[in-house]
Amino acid sequence: MAYWNEELETLPWQAVERWQAAQLAAALGRIRGTSALYARLHAGLPEAPRLATLADLQALPFTFKDDLRAAQEACDDALPFGQNQAVPRERVVQVVASSGTTGRPLYFAMTQADTQACADAIANVWFTAGLRPGDIVAHLVGLPMVAGGLPYADGFRRLGATLCWLGGFPTERILREMRHLRVTAMLSTTSFALHLSEQWAAAGRETGKPSHLNTVLGGGEPGMQQREVRTRITAGLGLQHVRDSMGLGDVMPSMWSECEAEDGMHFNAQRYVAVELIQPDSGDPVAWQEGATGEAVYTTFAREAMPVVRYRSRDHVQVVAMRCACGRTSPRMRCIGRTDDMLIYKGMNLFPSALRDLVGTQFAGRAAPLLRIWKASADQVRFDDPIPVEFETETALDAGAADALSREIEDLTRARLQVRIAVTLVAPGALPRSMYKQSLVAVRPEPKVLP
């Protein structure tokens, strides 16, 4: 078996899109008839718009996160999930919390069919990433309710791998049990994989057990595709196979993953979700072609409990290629950053992940691809002074060497990203490592006022 879903994964992409448009055409009446949100958003539009290709979706309005938020708040006893709850309460079998960076998180209800569709799509993601039945997977996300929790676990089981849910235990226990249980693969965020890789060899000496680990699956946080990050993980864990994946809790917890080419992520959710690329400012469509950049927009034509139509992901992506040696026909892309994370220095946009990638590639061996940007307040986006950033050094440096390296990073950032930053270097291991999502941005604590 070379593919999880050979027919859809190898069909020419335009044919896949035509098939998806037909699925949506068939589902649209039900979506508008059962979701008060879509009854409202699509009010006044033709009852049966022409949906022969995905390009025809332009006739439909976008759905924004704020629409979902407002719909969630308009809840009552019959509709605890609000105005986008498209099935009776009795049919909901699971709730998934999508990450809320500010305010109350969004919650997604799922029917039995939704959980099965989700497990199948995510199994496709893991299969593309190289996981196979027989693998013993350490699932290192600690919270079952989040998108990366139970839905990922269901994907592992649907694929036929052995789910070994170690997420949530203390790191020492994870390190020890991964060896005792002969774990062959692990799923974690980039930052937690880096954290484990720093302690992996010591855990081996302590337990006296050899490692069976050969595969690392990244999810929940970008960065795993970066060469320097990969090198640290492969060296620390003593393996070669590192694959990234990406999804969106509001749509489908995982939809994209790297194949053996390890060069951009394929779209693997084509059986349940359609994806468009748009120009974020104008909303105009962007054609899928090598090098194109835009925001990913998703439509769930198969989801029962909480459908989304033309949902703005706020994920900015770049198309790596439209064909692949693996035979999959779906686009391959790289995530450039999220609108939500974007900072502005004197009119220039800065994605924190772009800064991490720059330092990771240009200062490998000197500065670690770990950083923390300090904001004055949670809602600060604009900076008029150089943006304060902490980087970890790879080795302890004296004051003179640290100063010189700081200046080099600042100069290269200005030259490459047209943004001024003020670098502070901190000792190896000084920045926090998180088990789930590592925020690259932090709010500077108020200085303590002495009594």
* Residue 267 Cβ vs Zn ion, minimum distance, rounded to whole Å: 11
* Strand bridging mode 273-278 / 265-267: unpaired
Q: Strand pairing partners for 97?
A: 107, 146
Q: Does 387 bind Zn ion (CB under 5 A)?
A: no
Q: How far is the CB of 328 from Zn ion (least distance, A)?
A: 5
Number of residues in contact with Zn ion under rule CB under 5 A: 5
Site string for Zn ion, 256-285 (x = CB under 5 A): ---x-x------------------------
CA 209 – CA 166 distance, rounded (Å): 18
End-to-end C-alpha distance for the chain, whole angstroms: 70
Q: Which of 232, 241, 328, 437 binds Zn ion (CB under 5 A)?
A: 328
**139 vs 328, beta carbon nearer Zn ion:** 328
Question: Which structure tokens are listed for 192?
Answer: 């937690």
Residue with tokens 């976008």: 62
Selected binder of Zn ion within 201, 326, 412, 426 (CB under 5 A): 326
Closest by Cα among 78, 79, 5 to 37: 79
Residues 221-260 close enough to bind Zn ion by CB under 5 A: 259
The DSSP secondary structure of 202-232, one letter per residue, reads: HHHHHH-PPP---EEEE-SSS-TTSHHHHHH
DSSP 63: B
Cβ closest to Zn ion, residue 334 vs residue 420: 334
* Residues 140-159 contacting Zn ion, CB under 5 A: none
Closest approach, Cβ 371 to Zn ion, in A, equals 30
Q: Considering beta carbons, is residue 211 or 330 the nearer one to Zn ion?
A: 330
Select 3 or 374, whichever has its Cβ closest to Zn ion: 3
Pair of tokens at residue 131: 């996981």
The residue among 94 and 330 lying less far from Zn ion, judged by its C-beta, is 330
Q: Between 329 and 438, whose beta carbon lies closer to Zn ion?
A: 329
Q: Which stretch binds Zn ion (CB under 5 A): 51-59, 108-116, 325-333, 371-379?
A: 325-333
Q: Cβ closer to Zn ion: 131 or 146?
A: 131
Q: How far is the CB of 333 from Zn ion (least distance, A)?
A: 12
Q: Which residues fall within 8 angstroms of residue 244, CB to CB, at 6 or more apart?
A: 129, 217, 218, 219, 222, 224, 225, 257, 258, 265
Q: Which stretch binds Zn ion (CB under 5 A): 316-324, 351-359, 380-388, 443-451?
A: 316-324
CA angle 283, 288, 289 (to 5 degrees): 130
Does position 334 interact with Zn ion (CB under 5 A)? The reply is no
How far lies 229's CA from each of 34, 223, 284, 379, 413, in Å?
45, 7, 34, 29, 19
Give least dist CB 331 to Zn ion, A: 10
324 is an interface residue for Zn ion by CB under 5 A? yes
Give the alpha-carbon dihedral of 66, 72, 75, 79, to 10 degrees.
Answer: 140
Torsion of CA 260, 231, 295, 410, to 10 degrees: -160
In the complex, minimum distance from the CB of residue 160 to Zn ion, in angstroms, rounded to a whole number: 21
Give residues in contact with Zn ion (CB under 5 A). 259, 261, 324, 326, 328
